[in-house]
Amino acid sequence: MDSRDEQPDASVVTGRPLDRRAELSEFLRSRRARLKPEDVGLAAFGRHRRVPGLRREELAQLAGVSVAYYTRLEQGNGRNVSAEVLGSIARALRLTDAEHAHLTHLAKPKAHKKKPAARQQQVRGALRQLLDTMEGVPAYVVGRRSEILAWNRMAVALFGDWGELPPGERNWARLVFLRPAYRELFVDWEQKAIDIVCALRMDAGCDPDDARLSVLVGELSVKSEEFRRLWATHDVKEKSHGVKHLHHSLVGDLALNFESFRLTDGSEQSLVTYHADPGSPSADSLRLLASWGADAARALPAV
């Protein structure tokens, strides 16, 4: 590991807004470093290369731009760059859709109104009612910065009673990186941690001026070496569905399908649900948790 990655960045430790130019520069460098000439159909001349991955000259050639132009962009100067050029660079770097969107946010930020620092994210009443009607299905609403905003009774039985935590601690990033109980709950803890950091990176690209996000990143950078390591990768992705393997202290191992539905009302919130395959042992375990209700939450390790 590069020793520079082991120390938290000063800007995030102090909670200052993230430097968009630095973010753009590091993101492009990290994406270029992961590609080899043979990955993109170029001949690898010479046995010893000074840089990991592609050289700037090689990337510029693939993208159809001048070396000087690409160098300015990689130095964080995205002024006046066109969507077409960003598209060419994204294709040359083999970016995913999520990475392409992140690059665009960093290079061509949209003008937006700053959100009042003290304003809490609000969940619509009808959405809370929907959560309550989803009996047997653990579900919750997550917002910006991985904040957990609302949940139902089954989510309490599966994950613990978030209502017992101060509002500022109802946050997936803080739970996963700072609370040992969640390291035990998620069988593949590393993947859960990666997913959270990737989501936070996307948030940072969309709104680097978010002071609360900067404070969160700073806190985690100080308290968790694992967070610092993952944050330094600059990886971004969106994961809307999949399977999570959990080890619950009462019912043992669970394999649950999750679906994440992004709301289209401008709230930047998502509804996340978990369910088991019909007739599976995990389905039986969920029914058992449902029958125990609040007793199941009390039996869990303290969140």
Task: Express each pLDDT in 30-73 by its tens digit.
Answer: 999 988 887 777 766 555 666 678 889 989 999 999 999 999 99
List strand residue ranges (DSSP E) for the chain, in order: 139-142, 148-151, 241-248, 252-262, 270-275
* Dihedral (CA of 160, 163, 165, 168) sign: positive
Tell me what pLDDT residue 126 has.
94
Q: Give the tokens for residue 10.
A: 């000063």
Tell me what pLDDT residue 275 has.
96
Edge to edge, the sheet with strand 241-248 lists 148-151, 139-142, 270-275, 252-262, 241-248
User: How do beta strands 270-275 and 139-142 pair?
Assistant: antiparallel
**What average pLDDT does range 177-202 have in this prediction?**
95
Q: How far apart are CA 280 and CA 249, in angstroms?
A: 19
Report which of residues 42 and 299 the model is more confident about. Answer: 42
